[in-house]
């Protein structure tokens, strides 16, 4: 007696799987828009107080309004942007209180990341940090229209080459958030550096690299603090100067 074959139905295409492909594509677009806006804020492309106009952003990115709206909402939740009473969204203004708060938080979190990174950095890593510092030094000397963004990106690569070696899944996202909130300050500092060609923060990078090479965690953290606070101190001095009364004649 021949074996009886049991008929089988061909595998059905599940509607959920098809819908899932569409959903992934949509989410990918939203993520790309978010990442592009986040990158721009990260490197100080937008000025403090600048209103983020959705239609203009959508036209520039060649997307619809929806992914822009959702990206802006995410950035508001991350405190990189703020909502005005008119419901428009803008880059936060630079204030003395926020400046002090960010500088303090960054020194705490990033200082700890540097301390944790010290035992994990190889000589190859140290060589890479020296190369990044040289490139950043050269970028500061160019005085070109793209200097601010270029130096910001090199500065980011330098710091995160160190922070990544800390291997902290908890502290690294906190540092990301603080850098994102620091975007307007990055731009403001770049403007100050542009007015003073001889002024750069690269010498603190050199001190940090040498301390890391010696495996001197305390000196490395101190150099990192000096690096962070220099730019914030320059902005603080600008704020104080802007707040001084103008046109007041001195009495003699």
- Token pair, residue 233, equals 């101190």
Q: Which residues of the chain have pLDDT under 50?
A: 13-24, 248-252
Which segments of 43-170 does DSSP mark as H helices, in order? 54-61, 65-77, 96-117, 123-142, 147-163
- Whether residue 115 contacts residue 217, with contact meaning beta carbons closer than 8 Å, is answered with yes
Please state, in angstroms and as integers, the Cα–Cα distance from residue 79 to each residue in 73, 178, 195, following that order: 10, 9, 29
pLDDT tens for residues 172-198?
999 999 999 998 888 888 777 767 766
Where in the chain do CATH 1.10.10.10 domains reside? 20-90
The pairing of beta strand 89-90 with beta strand 82-83: antiparallel
Q: What is the pLDDT of residue 15?
A: 45
The string of DSSP letters for 178-192 reads HHHHTHHHHHHHHHH
CA separation for the pair 132, 73 (Å, rounded): 34
| pTM of the model as a whole | 0.80
Count Cβ atoms below 10 Å from residue 132 Cβ, excluding itself: 19
- Residue 176 in tokens: 């990301």
Could you give the angle at the alpha carbon of 46 between the alpha carbons of 41 and 47, nearest 5°? 125
Three-state DSSP at 67 gives helix
φ/ψ of residue 65, rounded to 5: -70, -30
- CA 71-77-81 angle, 5° bins: 70
pLDDT attached to residue 13 = 46
Q: What is the CATH class of 20-90?
A: mainly alpha
Q: Which fold has domain 96-243?
A: 1.20.120
Tell me the sheet residues that pair with 82.
90
The confidence score (pLDDT) of residue 249 equals 45
Residue 144: the pLDDT is: 66
All CATH 1.20.120.530 domain ranges of the chain, comma separated, are: 96-243
Q: What are phi and psi of 83, to 5 degrees?
A: -95, 130
**Which element (helix H / strand E) includes 39?**
helix 15-42
| Contact by Cβ (8 Å): 119, 215 | yes
In Å, what is the CA distance from 182 to each residue of 45, 102, 155, 193, 245?
A: 12, 7, 13, 16, 28
Structure tokens at 144: 């070109």
CA distances from 56 to 63, 71, 199, 204, 221 (A): 10, 14, 35, 39, 42
Over residues 41-54, the pLDDT tens digits come to: 988 888 899 999 99
Would you state the pLDDT for residue 11?
54
């Amino acid at each position: 007696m021949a074996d009886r074959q049991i008929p089988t139905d061909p595998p059905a295409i599940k509607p959920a799987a098809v819908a899932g492909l569409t959903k992934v594509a949509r989410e990918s677009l939203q993520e790309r828009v978010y990442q592009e806006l986040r990158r721009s804020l990260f490197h100080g492309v937008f000025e403090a107080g600048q209103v983020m106009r959705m239609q203009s952003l959508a036209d520039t990115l060649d997307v619809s309004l929806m992914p822009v709206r959702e990206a802006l909402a995410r950035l508001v939740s991350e405190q990189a942007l703020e909502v005005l009473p008119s419901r428009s969204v803008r880059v936060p203004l630079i204030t003395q209180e926020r400046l002090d708060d960010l500088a303090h938080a960054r020194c705490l979190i990033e200082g700890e990341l540097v301390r944790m990174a010290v035992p994990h950095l190889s000589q190859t890593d140290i060589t890479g940090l020296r190369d990044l510092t040289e490139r950043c030094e050269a970028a500061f000397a160019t005085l070109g229209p793209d200097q601010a963004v270029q130096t910001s990106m090199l500065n980011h690569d330098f710091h995160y080459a160190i922070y990544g070696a800390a291997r902290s899944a908890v502290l690294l996202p906190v540092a990301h958030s603080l850098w994102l909130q620091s975007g307007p300050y990055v731009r403001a500092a770049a403007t100050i550096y542009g007015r003073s060609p001889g002024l750069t923060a690269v010498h603190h990078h050199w001190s940090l690299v040498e301390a890391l090479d010696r495996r001197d965690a305390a000196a490395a953290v101190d150099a990192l603090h000096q690096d962070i606070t220099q730019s914030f101190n320059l902005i603080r001095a600008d704020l104080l100067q802007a707040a001084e009364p103008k046109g007041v004649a001195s009495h003699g």
